[in-house]
Chains A and B, each alone.
Chain A
């Protein structure tokens, strides 16, 4: 594998890690405040559909983003009401919301656009387009670091940089705010960003089940990172790298020197997730009150 291929891989790693990172930070807020959230997946999916639809109708990706956040917040609110106000089972509530999102997104997209449950393709200002960072072109000639800056670090959509900037911000906020409803709302916003990114930056529109388990992989990354923001960044980059590998069968085959079936590559991120969960983390100790409804002492 040469340097150029490596840079391409790292570039897709960053693109694919972004929704994972946003969802992972979302899970972080929720779980640090004691609400398990299996429903990251559903919130992302709802946000992806809403942002894809609104971005198409208005032609503005920013309105799409707002709609995505709004849809995700509605789901977060239901989860909050079920698990905080009515002290319901948080796992079950999350699973229910995932099914709701899975079905509703397709139903609504079909009712609105009649294209088999997807939103029409987005282009131009209806998408988050890549930004070229300053000096990217001029330093391209510098050996090793130049192409790294140009290929990997520059040329992503604004949400990629926002996601990374959210890591230190999350760290700062976590040390101050702790209220459960606030945390659930933040979770909603972050999942909204993640879903909007999926539909308006990573791809050009919403397709059914487009999140493909990313909400769950983000949870695995969260456990891997032991519920801390900065390790979460590394964990998500790792899982993003797995997904980038799955997209490049030629590279994988060149490295292992055996023909690898495509379904195996599709399954690779999930298999590696299980291996990571099983092996490398030592004992993962979740936040103490996780999953337990909080009742004020009288």
Chain B
């Protein structure tokens, strides 16, 4: 079979997969009685049509960068970490404990502390399945799925019986102190101008205390942490000895073993890093947005990491772009629910389709493109 040119492999294959996924999604929308064109319009308007929409799109993007990177690191070691959801929930617990029980003087320190807390808790949750895979050969896909369910139950218990303040009805932790609140986009100088609330006279409105008013959005400084982590993961995988070992192990376990790479060590390290990254997404939603620990805080973002990693071809740059795409889908999907009453499960369908086409039916797209390129080539030869 002919090989595809590199640009086609990197750009065209994911693009065609995406178009196929979008096409099937349109059919699903038609089947449930919606107009795909109208739906797409609502999504673009709601997610990208205003600074307000971007404030949500980038908020989701931040979470998906973390979980996408988490899946990517494990993938490079040949491991399928499907437990990002549980690791994110434990990371959320880490964030909450750090924010609730340590009196932080300033949000920058709190951010550093919460990041460490999230990473440690997320990594710890990944450590057990990793150890069982390395030492006992327990299938990591099944154990990490089981750990997702266990994490959910653990958080229900903690939120109902332990962390819930006296007298509060809903199962959630207490609110974090103000010093542990991260600046959102409407509070960061330079960015906040996009969120100015304008009066009828064309002047920015002022509240009762005489302060300028801005529209609140959830996107926050964690986005920059996520982008930094993308660079760190890139450097780790392609510029360090450890990264080389992880990739060698993922390509061929037997060859890596022969080259003196310790499989237990690689499985453990790759999964710990993966779990830490998944846990870190909770800085974004728990500390940056909710300001307290809620049930099911990660809301499926751990699973979206799988689609993001596949779509992003397991490269940090690709992950960032794919995370943006899914951020758009998520915010757009929320708008679909608000305006057209499409159930939020539509997002899960799209997510499944993207995983199916970019991950499992990759070969189909590739065969299709190779054949088309072959046609072009023979035509050119015929002309000459």
Contact = CB atoms under 8 A, between A and B. Distances in A.
Given A92-B355, A264-B157, A274-B132, A107 B149 contact: no
A274 B147 contact: yes
Contacts of A99: 303, 348-349, 351-352, 355
Given A97-B352, A111-B32, A278 B343 contact: no
A197 to B, nearest CB: 21
Interface string B347-369: 11111110110011111100100
Contact of B345 (A87, A106, A284): A106
A101 B345 CA distance: 10
B239 interface: no
A102 interface: yes
B156 A270 contact: no
A87 B363 CA distance: 7
Contacts of A108: 31-32
A95 interface: yes
Interface in A120-140: none
Interface stretch (B92-100, B135-143, B254-262, B275-283): B135-143
Interface string B110-147: 00000000000000000011001000111101110111
Interface residues of A, number: 50
A30 to B, nearest CB: 15
A243 interface: no
A143 interface: no
B132 A92 contact: no
Q: Which of B128, B137, B343, B360 has its CB near the most chain A CB atoms (within 10 A)?
A: B360
Given A108-B32, A264-B153, A93 B343 contact: no
Interface in A84-112: 85-93, 95-104, 106-108, 110-111
Interface residues of B, number: 50
Contacts of B363: 86-88
Interface in A56-101: 78, 82-83, 85-93, 95-101
A90 to B, nearest CB: 8
Nearest to A101: B352
B360 A223 contact: no
A223 B142 contact: yes
B357 to A, nearest CB: 8
Interface string A197-223: 000000000001000110010011001
Main secondary structure, interface of B, reads helix
A95 B132 contact: no
A271 B147 CA distance: 8
Contacts of B347: 103
B361 A103 contact: no
B360 A38 contact: no
B149 A267 contact: yes
B90 interface: no
A292 interface: no
B161 interface: yes
Contact of A82 (B82, B353, B360): B360
Contact of A103 (B31, B150, B349): B349
Interface in A160-181: none
Contacts of B31: 108, 111
Interface in B198-222: none
A273 to B, nearest CB: 5
Contact of B360 (A83, A103, A267): A83
B80 interface: yes
B28 interface: yes
Contact of B349 (A93, A104, A111, A263): A104
B11 interface: no
B157 A263 contact: yes
A111 B33 contact: yes
B306 interface: yes
B237 to A, nearest CB: 20
A117 interface: yes
B153 A96 contact: no
Contact of A277 (B142, B360, B364): B142
B346 interface: yes
A213 B348 contact: no
B356 A97 contact: yes
A88 B145 contact: no
A263 B153 contact: yes
Nearest to B359: A92
A99 B355 CA distance: 9
A232 B352 CA distance: 30
Nearest to B149: A270
B353 A261 contact: no
Q: Which 3 A-B pairs have the closest CB atoms?
A: A99-B352, A103-B348, A93-B360
Given A107-B28, A111-B32, 7 more contacts: A95-B306, A103-B349, A110-B32, A213-B145, A277-B136, A277-B146, A278-B132
Interface of B: 28, 31-33, 80, 82, 128-129, 132, 136-139, 141-143, 145-147, 149-150, 152-154, 156-157, 160-161, 303, 306, 310, 343, 345-353, 355-356, 359-364, 367
9 contacts: A82-B360, A86-B363, A89-B359, A96-B360, A100-B356, A216-B145, A266-B156, A270-B149, A284-B137
